Amino acid sequence: MAFLRSLIYGIRNLLRRTKRERDIADEIERYFEEAAAAQVEHGMTAEEARRTIRMEAGTMSSARAQANSYGWENSVSSFFSDLRFAARQLARHRAFTVTATLTLALGIGANAAIFTAIDSILLAPLPFNHADRLAVLGTRYSNTGRTTRRVTGPDGVDVRDQAKSLEAVSLMAGGEEGVQLRDHATYTEVTWVDENFPRVYSLQPIAGRLFSDAESHRSALVNEQFARNNFGSAQAALGQTVHIENEAIEIVGVLPGSFHEPGKTEVWEAFSLLPESKSRTAFNYRAVALLRESTSFQTAQTELNSLSQRLQTAYPEDNRNKQMVALPMTEALTGSARPTLMLLWGAVGIILLIACVNVTHLQLVRSMTRQREIAIRKALGSSRWQVMRPVLLESLLLAILGCAAGLLLALPAVRILIAMAPKELPRAGEIHLNGWVLAFTMAISVLTALVSSILPAMRAAKVAAADAMKQDASRGMERKGAARLRDGLVIAEIAATFVLAVAAALLLRTMSTLMTSDLGFETQRMLVVDADNPAHTDDDYRRMLRQFDEIFANLAAIPGVEHVAGVMGLPMGPYGSNGNYNTRGGLPVESHHAPEAIFSVASPEYFQTMGIPMLRGRDFNAQDAYDNPFVVVISQSVAKQSFGNIDPIGKQIQCGLDSDKWMTIVGVVGDIRQNSPAENPGPALYMPMKQHPAYANQIHIVLRTHVKPLTLINTVHSEIARANPLIAMRFTTMDSIVNESITAQRFRAALISLFAAAGLLLSMLGVYGTMAYTVAQRTFEIGIRMAFGANRAVILRAILRHAAILAGIGIAAGLVLSLLLARLVSAMLVGVQPMDPASLGGASLLLLLTAIAAASAPGWKATHINPLAALRAE
């Protein structure tokens, strides 16, 4: 009850503040008058009575202040009074306010943008039912620690049938395929899934129904977007027939437009619960699972460990060292992006730290110019908290302004981030600002206010009134340790910026290495056509091979085309295969350690078209047909690892691509970087298309031209469509394919370089501010020195030397930090070591020159001080 009365009383006083203060003033005045009258009655004069009352009760103004300090409402009123005072101070010092606001906006905006990506990709729940129970199955080899997120067909079936902790398991396979519609063909993502797939994801079609196991390779589900784009609506798509690999597939259901799993799938073709591959060494399938309710991933993994042990016992050759694993789907989908996002978040965290240091420095410099004001306030009786509060409130207002400006900066920054993101960045389409991002931004704004104001506020509270009245910055007199504190803040800025600069230099060096590395083939003037020629039966494949022969001949006759060839397994392309191989007449191989290689299927003239050097033997020719002895061309690495100094021509190799036939080696070509410029060149087997037709219907047609490749798209499209209008096509260039293969590295390098540039700018402002204040503070001293004959060069060298010393100490501290943090970026580097001398030296030189450049303007100003004016200055 007392609390309620106090609350009501306080609110009434706040609403009637002016009247309450007037009443208190009247009461105090009456008190002083009555007390003085009482003293006069005891024989004092009026002057003596007033003096006695002031000695006992203080002045009327102090009495009014003391009376107004009682009650919670007076604390609130005092807070808002200080807040208004802080706002007036910021409005009066606009240059300080604008500089500090923009500095904070840069740090807060960068953090908000990166946290938006982290929240949307790593923290937000997956948009699936029972997302916390979804798992991706994989295989780990206990002897090497290598993990693949794929399973063999038989292993997947065993897990599905025997793992009791899993409610449903679905195997799948697929990728980008040509889909033939009524009047055209299109490329889209097609996945073959079994009837358990909808159970795992708890899917319900928005139109139609789900398929059953009996409809394998006869029915399909499509995405709503696919249905609208090709048939007009979801209902119109039902019952329509599409052809995939020359099989007629009926659309029986349409799934929501927001669902695309796995990847960017738009068509899900029915697939048998019994996978076609019976090999326990061919990892042809991906697998997803739904854990039973109340079952943890640890429990599921324990059961998979036991099951793996039983499979190793039952199949000692094929399942040796194999361990089935279940990864939470969130980790499986986003785990690869986590290191990059954490690196970027660390970088923007450094930017925010530099921004805080800069604002702290600005506030320290400003607080030093307010020493006398603070001293007067303390002399009039202000407490430590009353002195600190305006400084803290100024920082809070600056943080609010910086937060608002940072959010305005974050909006375009997020759009730029999405545009720059590599295509393999998961959930990139889900990145957007939301309430959590706003809350995070507000939180770091408050934290920024506290961090940047704590030192200025503490120093303000420690001001001694007598000392402050004697200090005169213009004559070189200021508090002991003030200069050291400012210099320490600049050193911290430079050290943090050095870390960013080194990271940027290492990533840029990596990009330079990737862009200049020898790929083993030529990329210039190369047009690439993704071509999917529908085929399913043996007759289809023979027809398809004849069509491709005709297409290659027609394309070669186009003006501007030099060479034409086809390949399944284009370097950096989406299609390919690999596996173990055996040799006859080669070097002995240890048991259970068969060598591995990339498997590619190519047409004659492929090596000439790609610029891959033929080192020995011959290329494929028209005689390398299906009915003739199988042949193979090997890369130089295969020749070295399997034949050593033995001439491999005429020797034989067997691989498990699609046949167990032995193939005679007819040629040796140079090594290439197959999957990425970041990979080392490795072993590869090339086989003729006509001898492996099942891998030759979905190929890349490569055209070497002596004109700009993209100018030939329409002509090439017309020639291919004339041969077969059902061939799905997509066009690009070899340069584009190579560039897309290093988008993740380019993404990291570009953003870290951008953050390093921002840090460099902030550090330059910090050095400039310190040197400018130092010159202003030493104006009297410089005037005396110049009056006694010091020349301008000496003064300038002193200023620049001071900046160089600060930069040198900061660089040394940054070097230590870089050594400690080197392992965080080591996995992202290619062809460069974390302690690369060129990167460290370049970053050091850049920071040193930046510091000297920032100090040049204050130094120049110092050399133009008028000695007489400086000596007359008060």
pLDDT in tens, 527-559: 999 999 888 888 888 899 999 999 999 999 999
Residue 504, both tokens: 């940027």
- pLDDT at residue 88 in the model: 83
pLDDT digits (tens, 9 = 90+) for 711-730: 999 999 999 999 988 888 99
Compute the average pLDDT of residues 61-84: 59
- How many Cβ atoms from other residues are within 10 Å of residue 681's Cβ? 17
Compute the average pLDDT of residues 28-45: 67
- Amino acid residing at 404: A
- pLDDT at residue 633 in the model: 96
Q: Go through 8-44 and write b for each residue having 16 or more CB atoms within 10 A of its CB, e for each that does not.
A: eebeebbeeeeebeeeebeebeeebeebbeebeeeee
Distance CA 198, CA 261 (A): 11
Distance of CA 91 to the CA centre of its chain: 38
Q: Is 642:583 a contact under the CB 8 Å cutoff? A: yes
Q: Which residues contact 307 (CB under 8 A, 6 or more apart)?
A: 158, 159, 162, 163, 324
Tell me the pLDDT band of 278, cut-offs 50, 70 and 90: confident
Residue 520, both tokens: 């083993």
- pLDDT at residue 134 in the model: 95
Compute the average pLDDT of residues 217-222: 94
Q: Give the chain's end-to-end CA distance (angstroms, integer).
A: 61
- pLDDT at residue 874 in the model: 45
Backbone angles phi, psi at 255, to 5 degrees: -95, 160
Is residue 252 over pLDDT 90? yes
Is residue 93 over pLDDT 70? yes
Closest CA to 628 of 560, 687, 706, 697: 687
Q: Is 145 exposed, middle or buried (0-12, 13-18, 19+ CB in 10 A)?
A: exposed
Residue 212, both tokens: 């059953």
- pLDDT at residue 475 in the model: 45
Q: Of the given ranges (59-63, 193-197, 504-508), which has the lowest mean pLDDT?
A: 59-63
pLDDT digits (tens, 9 = 90+) for 468-492: 444 544 444 455 556 777 788 888 8
**What is the DSSP code (8-state) at residue 629?**
P
- pLDDT at residue 714 in the model: 94
Is residue 15 over pLDDT 70? no
Distance CA 843, CA 782 (A): 33
pLDDT digits (tens, 9 = 90+) for 339-380: 888 888 888 988 888 888 888 877 776 666 555 555 555 554
Q: Is 565:702 a contact under the CB 8 Å cutoff? A: yes
**What is the DSSP code (8-state) at residue 319?**
T
Distance of CA 716 to the CA centre of its chain: 38
Helix, coil or strand: residue 561: strand
**What is the DSSP code (8-state) at residue 262?**
T
Tracing tokens 């491709």 back to the chain, one arrives at 548
Q: Of the given ranges (253-262, 337-346, 462-471, 860-869), which has the lowest mean pLDDT?
A: 462-471
Q: Is 859:800 a contact under the CB 8 Å cutoff? A: yes
Q: What are the sequence ranges of the domains in the chain?
A: 2-71, 145-320, 340-515+743-872, 535-725
Could you list the beta-strand ranges (E) of 430-546: 526-532
Beta bridge partners of 72: none
Is residue 227 over pLDDT 90? yes
Distance CA 270, CA 239 (A): 15
How far CA 359 is from CA of 449, 760, 850, 854, in Å, comes to 9, 15, 19, 17
Closest CA to 834 of 510, 495, 493: 510
Q: Is 167:290 a contact under the CB 8 Å cutoff? A: yes
Tracing tokens 């370097």 back to the chain, one arrives at 571
pLDDT digits (tens, 9 = 90+) for 558-567: 999 999 999 9
Which residue would you say has higher pLDDT here, 449 or 819? 819
Backbone angles phi, psi at 706, to 5 degrees: -115, 20
Is residue 436 over pLDDT 80? yes
Beta bridge partners of 221: 253, 268
Is residue 872 over pLDDT 60? no
Average pLDDT for the chain: 83
Which residue would you say has higher pLDDT here, 858 or 693? 693
Is residue 91 over pLDDT 90? no
How far CA 766 is from CA of 62, 197, 398, 434, 633, in Å, comes to 43, 58, 18, 33, 63
Q: Is 363:395 a contact under the CB 8 Å cutoff? A: yes
Compute the average pLDDT of residues 430-459: 79
Q: Is 547:723 a contact under the CB 8 Å cutoff? A: yes
- pLDDT at residue 452 in the model: 75
Helix, coil or strand: residue 523: coil
Q: Is 250:219 a contact under the CB 8 Å cutoff? A: yes
Is residue 131 over pLDDT 80? yes
Whether the bond into 262 is cis, omega within 30 of 0: yes
DSSP states of 647-696: --TT-EEEE-SS----EEEEEEE--B--S-TTSPPB-EEEEEGGG-GGGS
- pLDDT at residue 14 in the model: 47
pLDDT digits (tens, 9 = 90+) for 763-821: 888 787 777 767 766 666 677 777 666 777 887 888 888 889 988 999 999 999 988 88
- Amino acid residing at 671: D
Q: Is 412 exposed, middle or buried (0-12, 13-18, 19+ CB in 10 A)?
A: exposed
**What is the DSSP code (8-state) at residue 300?**
H
Tracing tokens 């905006």 back to the chain, one arrives at 109
Q: Of the given ranges (13-17, 703-707, 836-840), which has the lowest mean pLDDT?
A: 13-17
Query: Where is mean pLDDT largest: 10-24, 250-264, 436-450?
Result: 250-264
Compute the average pLDDT of residues 618-638: 93
pLDDT digits (tens, 9 = 90+) for 728-770: 899 999 999 999 888 888 888 888 988 888 888 888 887 877 7
Tracing tokens 């799993």 back to the chain, one arrives at 261
Distance of CA 599 to the CA centre of its chain: 33
Is residue 382 over pLDDT 80? no
Is residue 45 over pLDDT 60? yes
- Amino acid residing at 436: W
Is residue 206 over pLDDT 70? yes
Q: Which residues contact 253 (CB under 8 A, 6 or more apart)?
A: 205, 207, 208, 209, 210, 211, 221, 222, 238
Helix, coil or strand: residue 264: coil
- pLDDT at residue 145 in the model: 82
Torsion over CA: 806, 811, 814, 819 (sign):
negative
Q: Is 498:763 a contact under the CB 8 Å cutoff? A: no
Distance CA 731, CA 716 (A): 10
**DSSP β-ladder status, 219-223 and 247-255:** parallel
Distance CA 545, CA 373 (A): 91
Distance CA 150, CA 262 (A): 13
Tell me the pLDDT band of 591, cut-offs 50, 70 and 90: low
Distance of CA 74 to the CA centre of its chain: 49
DSSP states of 214-232: GGTTTEEEEEHHHHHHHHS
Q: What proportions of the chain, in percent to the nearest 5, are helix, strand and coil?
A: 55, 15, 25
Is residue 525 over pLDDT 90? yes
Distance CA 450, CA 447 (A): 5
Compute the average pLDDT of residues 560-579: 90
Distance CA 748, CA 506 (A): 11
How far CA 870 is from CA of 256, 351, 772, in Å, comes to 77, 38, 16
User: Among residues of the chain, what percentage have pLDDT more than 90?
Assistant: 35
Residue 741, both tokens: 């293969």
- Amino acid residing at 659: S
Q: CA dihedral in degrees (282, 283, 285, 289; nearest 10)? A: 130
Distance CA 125, CA 121 (A): 9
Distance CA 244, CA 225 (A): 18
Q: Is 456 exposed, middle or buried (0-12, 13-18, 19+ CB in 10 A)?
A: buried
Show the DSSP H helices in 93-135 as ranges.
94-118
Backbone angles phi, psi at 45, to 5 degrees: -75, 165
Q: Is 409:351 a contact under the CB 8 Å cutoff? A: no
Q: Which residues contact 483 (CB under 8 A, 6 or more apart)?
A: 774, 777
